[in-house]
Amino acid sequence: QRPIHRLLSCPGTVAADLRREEQTSGNVETGSADRLVQKRFSEVQKERREQAQRTVLINCPNKISEKKFLKYLSQHGPINNHFFYESFGLHAVVEFCQKESVASLQDATYTPGLGAEAAIPFRSRFFSVKLKTAENQPSERSNVCCTNQSPPTSRKIFELLCYAESIDDQLNTLLKAFQLTEENTKLRYLTCSLVEDIAAAYFPFCAIKPFGSSVNSFGKLGCDLDMFLDLDETRRLHAQKTSGNFLMEFQVKSVSSERIATQKILSVIGECLDHFGPGCVGVQKILNARCPLVRFSHQASGFQCDLTTNNRIALKTSELLYMYGALDSRVRALVFSIRCWARAHSLTSSIPGAWITNFSLTMMVIFFLQRRSPPILPSLDYLQTLADPEDECIIEGHNCTFTGDLNKIKPSGNTETLELLLKEFFEYFGNFAFNKSSINIRQGKEQNKPESSPLHIQNPFEISLNISKNVNQSQLQKFVELARESAWILQQEDKDRPSPSRNQPWGLAALLLPSVSNSKFLDKKRRKKPASERIKNLLDSIKGSNTENSRNTNGK
Ligand code: CTP
Ligand code: MG
């Protein structure tokens, strides 16, 4: 009997520390997870945000003595922890024990004189440290140890996978190599917190919260940073507190729709980031999208950021995915492998267009795991039945209620291996009736398609929306062909290869590398197509990418 596959906690969350302890004490495979109280999504967010507010980001000279640097900073208060990384130069993330230390450091910091250029004096928590005199410099490059913030190279992945012991081991190895590290997660919350300081110039009580794959436990190193500007935070916290027969309201300006209000708010924040935000470059205001957003690069952290407001539902979706990711350790391993597989075969892309998105793929894996017998994951409707009154959540008329308490959900009795699940996933979707069925994780069953988009995946909360409306027929067809091919390759491996070979790609590696037979097979097929058809497909996807630009950010 295999141990129960419950995840101890999500790496990249506060509880990651606990998980690491479990791993070092060798308990990870024993199902000892059940002994740990798993944290709610809201608790994790609260702790991380508070941690980020005590943290500063510092650009350092390459030659820096770590010891002297830390001693210098400790003048402002005790340091809880710190790490270094490279992104356009050496940077340090330093977390103080107390928030007051940040103010003390800011009081001891100067706005630089820039010679011919003029500095805009902006007191942020992003600093540069300079060495006062040359003689203080250590003679050679310091030995600061940099943490890695980038995804592993294909070569590295290939090596890791070929040396794994089984296909199950390969899937877990891939997960470990790509998942967000503790440091990367800290940097994501810190970046939101720095942007919050800028937005606070207009809205002093706002909160900027990460959502999407940065927090839903399905983020890969290098994924974008989705940010939600929450202007309701204070209202929700204090509205109920007053007594007496009066209700106080602020005098406000009004505009004709919620959408226009959102556009106006994002427009000024975009300007502010562009003009005054240290390290914020390439600011684009994409205000006519279905869900308006400001996109920019945060150079010092290396993150591509998408800032939105007025989409609280997406935050709830992130919480739901976090729950699913934490319920069973097989979920994340399978999602990461499917995402890597899709990326390797260009089924997904960083450019918006008629492609399947990572978000859609995650929903497909969750749905597939709901369809196993016995199910590995419960339906959203079931999670709703477990909700307490405090979980109740209605957003813009949509019922977003479900339990936030992971410990209420019984572990699945299903003991299928990852190897089997991977094969079955490809078979399941290689034969799925996409033409008539919709993927519905709320009910955990396929439903009749309500409209004619090639791929229909119901948004779990805004049930009239299709999260994969952007996907065109040829992209879906490509997905199906590759899924069938991959199922076939895994079956052949079963027959042909008695033991894994270290020199040749096998198992998951055979599915990921472009040299696999299936891509040759598909290339041949592609070449057979007349050029006109290939060009038509290309035009379709470009057309798709224009009209679907807004769709792609839908729900954000
Ligand atoms: N979202 C949505 N409906 C869509 C697209 C996105 O509700 N059609 C929400 C989801 O909560 C999603 C989040 O917006 O997680 C961020 O979208 P995106 O960045 O596209 O996906 P991620 O899940 O963050 O995945 P990736 O790692 O590819 O960024
Ligand atoms: Mg994202």
What's the CA dihedral at 471, 477, 482, 487 to 10 degrees?
110
Which ligand minimizes its atom distance to the CA of 228?
1
**Model confidence at 33: pLDDT above 50:** no
| Cα of 223 from ligand 2 centre, angstroms | 6
pLDDT tier, 243 (very low <50, low <70, confident <90, very high otherwise): confident
| Cα of 307 from ligand 1 centre, angstroms | 12
d(CA 157, CA 179): 13
| Cα of 486 from ligand 1 centre, angstroms | 26
206 versus 495: the higher-pLDDT residue is 206
pLDDT of residue 414: 97
Which ligand minimizes its atom distance to the CA of 459?
1
| Cα of 555 from ligand 1 centre, angstroms | 8
Of the candidates 73, 130, 78, 79, which has an alpha carbon nearest to the alpha carbon of residue 105? 73
pLDDT of residue 105: 97
Question: Which segment of 184-193, 207-216, 506-515 scores lowest on mean pLDDT?
Answer: 506-515
pLDDT of residue 143: 76
| Cα of 245 from ligand 1 centre, angstroms | 43
Q: Which atom of ligand 1 is nearest to the CA of 224?
A: 29
**Model confidence at 90: pLDDT above 60:** yes
Ligand 1 pocket, CB under 6 A: 211-213, 216, 219, 223-224, 226, 314, 317-318, 357-359, 467, 554-556
| Cα of 213 from ligand 1 centre, angstroms | 7
Residues 522-536 have a mean pLDDT of: 46
High-pLDDT (> 90) share of the chain, %? 71
Type of residue numbered 406: L
d(CA 229, CA 195): 10
Residue 269 tokens read as: 């924040």
Long-range CB contact pairs, 254-261, < 8 A, 24+: 258/310, 259/292, 261/310
Residue nearest to atom 21 of ligand 1 (CA): 359
Which three-class secondary structure string do you get for 453-474? CCCCEECCCCCCCECCCCCCHH
Angle at 214 between CA 164 and CA 97, to 5 degrees: 105
Distance of CA 518 to the CA centre of its chain: 29
Residue nearest to atom 1 of ligand 1 (CA): 555
| Cα of 444 from ligand 1 centre, angstroms | 20
Write the burial class of residue 256 (CB in 10 Å: 0-12 exposed, 13-18 middle, 19+ buried). Answer: exposed
Of the candidates 175, 185, 231, which has an alpha carbon nearest to the alpha carbon of residue 206? 231
Q: Which atom of ligand 1 is nearest to the CA of 213?
A: 24
pLDDT tier, 34 (very low <50, low <70, confident <90, very high otherwise): very low
Whole-model pTM: value is: 0.86
Give the up-direction half-sphere exposure of residue 405: CA atoms within 13 A in the CB hemisphere: 11
Residue nearest to atom 7 of ligand 1 (CA): 555
The set of residues, in sequence order, having a beta carbon less than 8 Å from that of 553 and lying 6+ positions away, is 286, 289, 290, 291, 293, 306, 308, 352
For ligand 1, pick from 226, 291, 319 the residue to mutate: most ligand atoms within 8 Å of CB: 226
The set of residues, in sequence order, having a beta carbon less than 8 Å from that of 245 and lying 6+ positions away, is none
Identify any residues that bridge with 294 across adjacent strands, giving them in sequence order.
Answer: 285, 307
Q: Which atom of ligand 1 is nearest to the CA of 306?
A: 19
Residue 157 tokens read as: 């992945």
pLDDT of residue 246: 87
d(CA 170, CA 508): 7
| Cα of 556 from ligand 1 centre, angstroms | 7
d(CA 341, CA 402): 31
| Cα of 358 from ligand 1 centre, angstroms | 8
pLDDT of residue 551: 40
Question: In this structure, what DSSP letter does residue 179 have?
Answer: B
CA dist 26 → 171, 304, 331 (Å): 19, 37, 21
| Cα of 324 from ligand 1 centre, angstroms | 15
**Model confidence at 286: pLDDT above 60:** yes
Q: Which atom of ligand 1 is nearest to the CA of 470?
A: 8
Question: Which segment of 97-101, 248-252, 328-332, 499-503 scores lowest on mean pLDDT?
Answer: 499-503
**Model confidence at 15: pLDDT above 80:** no
pLDDT, tens digit, 9 for 90 and up, residues 447-498 = 999 999 999 999 999 999 999 999 999 999 999 999 999 999 998 877 665 5
**Model confidence at 432: pLDDT above 90:** yes
Which ligand minimizes its atom distance to the CA of 318?
1
| Cα of 202 from ligand 1 centre, angstroms | 27
pLDDT of residue 139: 53
**Model confidence at 553: pLDDT above 70:** no
ipTM over cut 0.90:
yes
Residues 407-433 have a mean pLDDT of: 96
pLDDT of residue 336: 98
Q: Which atom of ligand 1 is nearest to the CA of 314?
A: 11
d(CA 349, CA 87): 23
Give the up-direction half-sphere exposure of residue 371: CA atoms within 13 A in the CB hemisphere: 18
Residue nearest to atom 16 of ligand 1 (CA): 212
Query: Contact at 8 Å (CB) between 443 and 522?
Result: no
pLDDT of residue 345: 95
**Model confidence at 399: pLDDT above 70:** yes
Type of residue numbered 6: R
Residue nearest to atom 11 of ligand 1 (CA): 314
Residues 530-552 have a mean pLDDT of: 44
Q: Which atom of ligand 1 is nearest to the CA of 318?
A: 11
* Residue carrying the six token digits 């057309």: 543
The set of residues, in sequence order, having a beta carbon less than 8 Å from that of 159 and lying 6+ positions away, is none
Q: Which atom of ligand 1 is nearest to the CA of 467?
A: 8
pLDDT of residue 153: 93
Question: Which segment of 57-61, 91-95, 213-217, 231-235 scores lowest on mean pLDDT?
Answer: 231-235
pLDDT tier, 504 (very low <50, low <70, confident <90, very high otherwise): confident
Query: Contact at 8 Å (CB) between 12 and 185?
Result: yes
Write the burial class of residue 307 (CB in 10 Å: 0-12 exposed, 13-18 middle, 19+ buried). Answer: buried
Residue 64 tokens read as: 């820096």
High-pLDDT (> 70) share of the chain, %? 80
pLDDT of residue 236: 63
pLDDT of residue 538: 45
Mean pLDDT of the chain: 85
For ligand 1, pick from 211, 359, 453, 469 the residue to mutate: most ligand atoms within 8 Å of CB: 359
